[in-house]
Chain A
């Protein structure tokens, strides 16, 4: 599904990623953990196509194609989804027209027929039910005035609408209370199939109780310095990142 090979990236001359190697196969869930400033969000942004980051070395293939050569919208259409750590407020753009445009552009790309208004509404209702996000968010402008929890739920709702193959969840748990966390995690799990994969970026083991990873990686100074199974997250929770730092020193 996704193969990252020796990925280096920088912003304004500052090196952030220093040789990332990672392979994600269909059906797998990977967790990426690491201290602040280790490059987790940068990795997510680079994969989604944010052009403020400059890739200086390495390559990434997604479903057999060179991901780094694709525009952000083409990555999304091919099945990559990024749930933002800080979803952007867009005043004046209604959730409804935003999602309808997005879904139809994605469908067109995938060779599916464009949905009429009625068909779109029906589809939206079904997807809302699937992720159990029953909200009036769709009647408002994109993320405008949403609470932290609403914004994250809205990300998962969008994920449900766009039916991605690979989802990168960038600190989707930050700023959530335990109830909202459960809703968000249940949504992610409801969308999970043997064909789809998730990369979960988080600081806390807590989220991984709900979204259970197959692999856990520790990112430090722009490199994956340790990988393991689920138990690695528990060890980190217990010992903190200093344990890893000391091991590397």
Chain B
């Protein structure tokens, strides 16, 4: 069965490693393995995965698991481009979950390398942070990522360093066989430092795939971290994303996830506010149609007093697509003077489209300001009629209203060229046009 197969894969990785895995990494992976053996991989019997049907992902497809570095002789960057016009970025390319190359200048103060390299070059940082935050999720799928992911990106921004240029991570999934990919990233932002990160996923062929992505971000005191995740993938691509942010005092986090297209997308997002005065802004937009499945599962842990969290997710579901939003906010006993706000608004465009939304506030402190609101509705027929009586045709009226709805999230993007680019992608998506990236030479289609 599935779990045994994964365990076998792990064993084969160990057999091939010749003892090259540092003990502290090995320890975490072995512990993950024990967790999986004991608790299994969550399915619909687990409350957190109750609304996620995994059958379309794990059907009869025999996925090839990528357990060693893919052989790529050419520079992927030479035939792949994913530029945001007017936005100057340093690029990091990953190939099937493995670090491939980066365009960061050699003398950059920001450390960027593969995770494998970081194990040996920056053992103290890796040891301090690796799996310290995602482990707390107690989620078998996260454990699976910990057990099997062998590479990914390591980024370290030293104290007091303001990164002027944004960094863009491009995850390329390529090759002809159906595959299962594992990637694990670690990002450490030093005190008073700043980083803007853009992540784009691309699938370059028509073979079904599952991407297991694990990312941990440590944001030290008074640091500023912005992360933009563009999930714009064909229907044959499935994503299990596990993202954990750990915030120290007076740090600021902005996380935006745009789930514009894909097969099954599951985003698990965890924020721990571990230092007073921290602020986190967590936003997401889901646009789905056909048989697509997009879930956002979020957990914000107010562990200390005087922190602020803003959570705002929106979804537009068309045709037979399904989605779920789960927003858990925990305000611990000592976390006085917490401000925690959560909103989730959804539009279902057909009778068959379904979204489940579940706010979950657990408040143990007594001096807090918390709010949550969730709505599921249809397109406002009265507003549609109003627009049409002014001579605007049905399609344009519908588009204007949906775009206005989605734009609440798009306008949170602070980088202007990126905001325009995403607005353009969202427009095209809502108009039902192809979602191929304009600058991509590969011209992969959205279906």
Listed in ascending order, the chain A residues whose CB lies under 8 Å from chain B are 48-50, 71-73, 75-77, 81-82, 84, 87-93, 97-99, 101-103, 105-106, 109, 141-142, 158, 162
B49 within 8 Å of A by Cβ? no
Q: How far apart are B164's CB and chain A's nearest CB, in angstroms?
A: 32
Task: Give 10 A-B contacts (CB < 8 Å), ordered by A residue.
Answer: A48-B385, A49-B389, A50-B385, A71-B394, A73-B394, A82-B389, A88-B386, A97-B400, A102-B390, A141-B404
User: What's the Cα separation between A93 and B404 when bound, in Å?
Assistant: 6
User: What's the Cα separation between A72 and B382 when bound, in Å?
Assistant: 12
Q: How far apart are A163's CB and chain B's nearest CB, in angstroms?
A: 11
CB-contacts of B363-416 with A (<8 A): 380, 382-383, 385-394, 396-397, 400-401, 403-405, 407-408
A90 touches B404 (CB 8 A): yes
User: What's the Cα separation between A110 and B291 when bound, in Å?
Assistant: 41
Contacts of A103 in B (CB 8 A): 391
* Most B CB within 10 A of own CB, among A75, A105, A162: A105
Q: How far apart are B445's CB and chain A's nearest CB, in angstroms?
A: 29
B391 touches A87 (CB 8 A): no
Tell me whether A76 and B405 are in contact in the complex, defined as CB-CB below 8 angstroms, given that A88-B382, A97-B400 are known contacts.
no
Nearest residue in B to A83 (C-beta to C-beta)? Answer: B389
Contacts of B392 in A (CB 8 A): 73, 98, 101-102, 105
Contact of A73 among B391, B404, B408 (CB under 8 A): B391
Contacts of A48 in B (CB 8 A): 385, 389
Nearest residue in A to B381 (C-beta to C-beta)? Answer: A52
Listed in ascending order, the chain B residues whose CB lies under 8 Å from chain A are 380, 382-383, 385-394, 396-397, 400-401, 403-405, 407-408
A106 touches B404 (CB 8 A): no
Q: How far apart are B400's CB and chain A's nearest CB, in angstroms?
A: 5
B389 touches A93 (CB 8 A): no
A91 touches B404 (CB 8 A): yes
A84 touches B386 (CB 8 A): yes
Tell me whether A92 and B408 are in contact in the complex, defined as CB-CB below 8 angstroms, given that A72-B385, A98-B400, A105-B396 are known contacts.
yes
Contact of A87 among B386, B396, B401 (CB under 8 A): B386
Contacts of A101 in B (CB 8 A): 392, 396, 400
Q: How far apart are B410's CB and chain A's nearest CB, in angstroms?
A: 11
Contacts of A71 in B (CB 8 A): 388, 393-394
* Most B CB within 10 A of own CB, among A50, A72, A93: A72
Contacts of B400 in A (CB 8 A): 93, 97-98, 101
Q: How far apart are B276's CB and chain A's nearest CB, in angstroms?
A: 35
Contacts of A97 in B (CB 8 A): 400
Q: How far apart are B303's CB and chain A's nearest CB, in angstroms?
A: 35
B408 touches A162 (CB 8 A): no
Q: How far apart are A166's CB and chain B's nearest CB, in angstroms?
A: 13
Q: How far apart are B399's CB and chain A's nearest CB, in angstroms?
A: 10
B408 touches A158 (CB 8 A): no
Tell me whether A93 and B401 are in contact in the complex, defined as CB-CB below 8 angstroms, given that A71-B394, A73-B394, A101-B396 are known contacts.
yes
A49 touches B388 (CB 8 A): yes
Contact of A92 among B393, B397, B404 (CB under 8 A): B404
User: What's the Cα separation between A77 and B389 when bound, in Å?
Assistant: 9
Tell me whether A72 and B404 are in contact in the complex, defined as CB-CB below 8 angstroms, given that A90-B383, A101-B396 are known contacts.
no
Contacts of A73 in B (CB 8 A): 388-394, 397
* Most B CB within 10 A of own CB, among A73, A77, A142: A73
Contact of A88 among B383, B394, B407 (CB under 8 A): B383
Q: How far apart are A117's CB and chain B's nearest CB, in angstroms?
A: 16
B389 touches A76 (CB 8 A): yes
Q: How far apart are A158's CB and chain B's nearest CB, in angstroms?
A: 6
A72 touches B389 (CB 8 A): yes
Contacts of A106 in B (CB 8 A): 390-391
User: What's the Cα separation between A187 and B258 when bound, in Å?
Assistant: 45
B391 touches A105 (CB 8 A): yes
Contacts of B393 in A (CB 8 A): 71, 73, 105
User: What's the Cα separation between A141 and B403 when bound, in Å?
Assistant: 13
* Most A CB within 10 A of own CB, among B383, B390, B391, B397: B391
User: What's the Cα separation between A76 and B405 when bound, in Å?
Assistant: 25
Contact of A102 among B380, B383, B391, B405 (CB under 8 A): B391
